[in-house]
A and B are shown apart, each in its own frame.
Chain A
């Protein structure tokens, strides 16, 4: 079945550091890929998405590129801020499916 694997967390960085959170997937067909973010005490909200190979999603300085050859969708940001501290979830959906399949989530803490 479909699955998403995220790098193990938690991740702790200093402000202005470079961030990478790895995400790889297994799916039949051509999935859409997502990154959702959950700030403390809140629900999930969409950070960015890509719906076909080689697409790049971007938002708030975060980027991720849909790499079909490596089945990956790694999240990057050049300079993190304290306000980026949150849990980040990689997810996929397939055209024949009715749900999002989530990774385990990665807790990011950014220290001043």
Chain B
């Protein structure tokens, strides 16, 4: 099993550009989520999905879109990049939703720099 994979590893964008961060898992997990990691703030939830076709907003959803057409994939779209979106982005997955004490499996992260 590859676990949770993310691409790209590193990306530089100019303000106003759009891009998609890819996330895939091969563990047949129903629950997937996106977090951003910023210094001194831990990780904050952006969006999550409890299954194919179902998504919902997390703590910091503004400026990001998601969709979940398959169980395996959960891409994160930045619509118009802003310097405030400079961060490290982590995708995570689990068998069921985080609130049930499930272990979350994290990808290696995507480091994004917006100029």
A binds B: yes
Residues of A within 8 A of B (CB): 4, 32, 34, 36, 41-46, 49, 51, 89, 91, 93-100, 102-105
Once the chains bind, are B43 and A89 in contact (CB under 8 Å)?
A: yes
Q: Which residues of A contact B108 (CB under 8 A)?
A: 41-43
Once the chains bind, are A99 and B101 in contact (CB under 8 Å)?
A: no
Known: A51-B101, A93-B98. A104 touches B40 (CB 8 A): yes
Q: Which residues of B contact A51 (CB under 8 A)?
A: 101
Q: Which residues of A contact B40 (CB under 8 A)?
A: 104
8 contacts between A and B (CB under 8 A): A34-B103, A43-B107, A44-B43, A44-B92, A89-B42, A97-B98, A99-B59, A102-B42
Asked if B48 is at the interface (CB within 8 A of a chain A CB), the reply is yes
Known: A99-B59, A104-B42. A43 touches B99 (CB 8 A): no
Count of chain B residues with a beta carbon within 8 Å of a chain A beta carbon: 28
Residues of B within 8 A of A (CB): 4, 33, 40-45, 48, 50, 56, 58-59, 90, 92, 97-109
Once the chains bind, are B58 and A99 in contact (CB under 8 Å)?
A: yes
Known: A44-B106, A99-B48. A93 touches B101 (CB 8 A): yes
